[in-house]
Amino acid sequence: MATVPGPPRKGEHSPAPRRPASAVPSIEWLRITPPGFRATLVNISASGLLAEWGLPLKIGQKVTVEFEGTLTQKSVGAQVIRSSVAYMTSASLRYHVGLAFTAPIAFEDQTPPVTGDAEAPLPAAVPDPAPLDDVVNQW
């Protein structure tokens, strides 16, 4: 089952425009360390990304994102700002993990972003949006 990213939900704010994974063919896979497993890119911007994989991560955790593919930049530091269940299969849960980069990245089709102070603090964590009113838990 493939997840198709839609428009930002109420309460989500990204300082840079997001690109769906299909618009960035230079990134084939992601490796998020720790724990070091492969993840699938959902969308990405110069300031962060949304990945899908089988493990939750702790909000505020510092990680390194390694880009597998032909993207010029091979890795970047990041902080977990969101971790939530995306969907479940008969065998497991799949999570969406939102990461804010410690420094902006550049894509091949654009000039490198202008950065401010190198010691600038990480962006504040954005709280998860409120649940949709039409979702009812039947458990």
Which pLDDT tens digit goes with each residue over 28-84? 999 999 988 899 999 999 999 999 989 889 999 999 999 999 988 999 999 999 999
Q: What CATH number has the domain bearing residue 27?
A: 2.40.10.220
* Integer Cα distance of 98 and 80 in angstroms: 6
For residue 23, tell me if it sits in a domain: yes
Counting the structural domains of the chain, the total is: 1
Helix (H, G, I), strand (E, B) or coil at 63: strand
- For residue 111, what pLDDT is reported? 46
For residue 3, tell me if it sits in a domain: no
Cβ atoms within 10 Å of 6's Cβ, excluding its own: 6
Decide if pLDDT at 133 tops 80.
Answer: no
For residue 50, tell me if it sits in a domain: yes
Q: How far is CA 127 from CA 12, 59, 83, 117, 120, in A?
A: 8, 10, 10, 25, 21
For residue 109, tell me if it sits in a domain: no
For residues 93-111, give the mean pLDDT.
86
- Tell how strand 93-101 and strand 75-88 pair up: antiparallel
For residue 110, tell me if it sits in a domain: no
Structural domain for 26, as ranges: 19-101
